[in-house]
């Protein structure tokens, strides 16, 4: 299981539902997501099921982010590529009480490394809604740059990304 300095990255499971639903119940969290899930418990259930199912289909997915010092669920992040996504994606989402600690950047760096070293990707991308300043800041801190804008699931979005370092 991947680890960072402060986080354990483990597969999401059904047991994460209560924490996951609490995370998405905050409109600031659900509102940042280009997947445009809502914030109700039913929306959270579908979102969690999608990330768990994605691992079944693709063999990889976002991980649950577990704070080593407390064992608490702080969010999710990782690689993914649902049907119709413009490349191998890396994404991040934190419960509101855990913003401002550097956890998204820490997990996103691990996700990018995983894509290049384990999944053998030559490029990773992230879809970010215009105005999501905190997400753009994460993207820039991990070495992404703005690639282009495109329409994703009916919305204009920014595509950020980076190439694998030369071997
Ligand atoms: C996008 C999102 C994950 C960014 O969260 P974040 O907390 O701003 O990002 P990080 O976890 O990387 O934390 C960075 C901040 O922690 C601070 N920080 C504090 N301690 C730190 C430490 N030990 N190491 C690194 N940074 C630290 C940094 O200075 C930075 O602060 P700043 O934003 O005031 O400059 C969060 O806003 C979120 O979950 N939004 C809703 C979902 C979403 O939009 N997801 C993205 C879809 S594209």
113-158 pLDDT, tens per residue?
999 999 999 999 999 999 999 999 999 999 999 999 999 999 999 9
Please tell me the predicted confidence (pLDDT) of residue 54: 98
Q: Give the helix ranges, DSSP H, for 11-102.
A: 17-24, 27-30, 41-58
The total domain count for the chain is 1
- Two structure tokens written together for 41: 């418990």
Please report whether residue 77 resides in a domain: yes
Task: Render pLDDT for 31-83 as a digit per residue (tens, 0 to 9).
Answer: 999 987 799 999 999 999 999 999 999 999 999 999 999 999 999 999 999 99
Please report whether residue 132 resides in a domain: no
| Ligand 1 in reach of 90 Cβ (< 6 A) | no
| Boundaries of domain holding 19 | 7-118
CB 152 within 8 A of CB 35: no
Please report whether residue 130 resides in a domain: no
> How far apart (Å, rounded) are the C-alpha atoms in residues 94 and 30?
10
pTM reported for the whole predicted model:
0.97
| Ligand 1 in reach of 139 Cβ (< 6 A) | no
| Ligand 1 in reach of 104 Cβ (< 6 A) | yes
- Two structure tokens written together for 134: 């905190």
Please tell me the predicted confidence (pLDDT) of residue 1: 79
Please report whether residue 134 resides in a domain: no
The enclosing domain of 49 has a CATH number of: 3.40.630.30
Q: Rg for the chain (alpha carbons), in Å?
A: 15
Q: What percent of the chain has pLDDT over 90?
A: 95
Q: How far is CA 63 from CA 76, 105, 118, in A?
A: 5, 14, 15
Please report whether residue 160 resides in a domain: no
Q: How far is the CA of 104 from the centre of ligand 1 (A)?
A: 6
Find the Cα–Cα–Cα–Cα dihedral 38, 41, 45, 50, rounded to 10°: 10
Closest atom of ligand 1 to CA, residue 104: 11
Q: How far is CA 6 from CA 79, 146, 167, in A?
A: 19, 28, 28
Q: Give the helix ranges, DSSP H, for 41-129.
A: 41-58, 103-117
pLDDT score of 95 more than 80: yes
Q: How far is the CA of 150 from the centre of ligand 1 (A)?
A: 24
């Amino acid at each position: 299981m991947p680890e960072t300095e402060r986080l354990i990255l483990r597969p999401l499971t059904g047991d994460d539902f209560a924490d996951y639903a609490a995370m998405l119940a905050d409109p600031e969290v659900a509102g940042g997501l280009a997947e445009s899930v809502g914030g109700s418990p039913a929306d959270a259930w579908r979102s969690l099921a999608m990330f768990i199912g994605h691992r079944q289909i693709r063999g990889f997915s976002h991980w649950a982010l577990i704070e080593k010092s407390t064992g608490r669920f702080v969010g999710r992040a990782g690689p993914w590529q649902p049907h119709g996504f413009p490349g191998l994606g890396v994404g991040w989402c934190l419960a509101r009480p855990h913003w401002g600690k550097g956890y998204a950047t820490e997990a996103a760096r691990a996700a990018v490394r995983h894509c290049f070293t384990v999944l053998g990707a030559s490029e990773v991308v992230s879809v970010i809604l215009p105005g999501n300043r905190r997400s753009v800041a994460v993207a820039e801190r991990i070495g992404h740059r703005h690639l282009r804008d495109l329409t994703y699931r009916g919305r204009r979005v920014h595509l950020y990304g980076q190439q694998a370092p030369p071997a």
